A and B are shown apart, each in its own frame.
Chain A
Amino acid sequence: MQFFGGSEISPSPPVPTASGNNGHMIYMFNRNGVCLLYREWNPPLRTLNAQQDHKLMFGLLFSLKSLTVKMDPTSAEKGNLGVPQLPGQGCSFHSFRTNTYKLSFMESPSGIKIILVTHPRTGDLWDSLKYIYNLYVEYVVKNPLYTPGSPIRCQLFNTTLDQYMRGIA
């Protein structure tokens, strides 16, 4: 899994893979489960309150990760189901699709998880997720006023992210 391709933001963001109203929501979690970011672009139907939603999302990802590690048909040596995995250890899933949405997931080696919820017919968003991670590095991590592990409140990051999501939507 090639992660460190380029560490600076490439001058041109990746080309959009599908047209139409794509972007729904983005979540970002750190390795402790703290929700660093949640933004939405098309008003979605919210049935649970925000806190419950974040916990449910994090729980789903954690369980799916342990499921894919266990179900991996190419490795014979597996731990028990439910053992927490280090980022990058074992087989990880990168997206799933339902009839109403597609969820794309990426975990950085430092445990930062980025989740994009989009239209079901969206193509592979791996490059977009990498680009968003680079935006996070540039605008959030390098911001001296940002405390790691706290929710992101960097205006420049939000603006650039919105611009980018509108571009691929």
Chain B
Amino acid sequence: MAAAIYSLYIINKSGGLIYYKDYGSAGRMDTNDSLRVASLWHSMHAISQQLSPVSGCLGIELLQADTFDLHCYQSLTGTKFFVVCEPGTQHMESLLKYIYELYTDYVLKNPFYEMEMPIRCELFDINLTQAVQKDRVAFLGR
């Protein structure tokens, strides 16, 4: 059974990729490509704010394509969490907020973590995998 989530990206406020995890998509990308895609998304997010007909636009929250959906959550500090998932997947917003909480607990509070650098925190990885697995099991059960 295909996973509901294909991949997860976290980008810092300057658009640099700090975390990329692939959960089983056929189009798994190498490091360079994932870096390029992340920067491209960062720019697109910014341009979409400029094209808004009313002021106060915070950027793209959901992108729907033929074969996937992309949900994006931007924290108040500009860090963006986005997930590529199957079209029509529910509750991605709450998952992204939960991942943000994991990020604040296991990454930001880690005294050895340098801001804006790639994330190399084992506890973050473990908890993130648990969170995503729980989601996957919930979907399979439905």
Interface residues of A (CB under 8 A from B): 1, 24-25, 40, 42, 44-45, 47-48, 53, 56-57, 59-60, 63-64, 66-68, 70-76, 78, 81, 91-101, 103, 117
Contact = CB atoms under 8 A, between A and B. Distances in A.
B27 A53 contact: no
B123 to A, nearest CB: 27
A67 B26 contact: no
- The binding surface of chain A is classed by DSSP as mixed
Interface in B78-117: 84
Nearest to B52: A100
A85 B92 CA distance: 30
Contacts of A25: 53
B60 A72 contact: no
Contact of A56 (B29, B51, B56, B70): B51
Interface in B45-67: 47-67
Nearest to A100: B57
Interface in B17-73: 25-27, 29, 33, 36-37, 40-41, 43-44, 47-68, 70
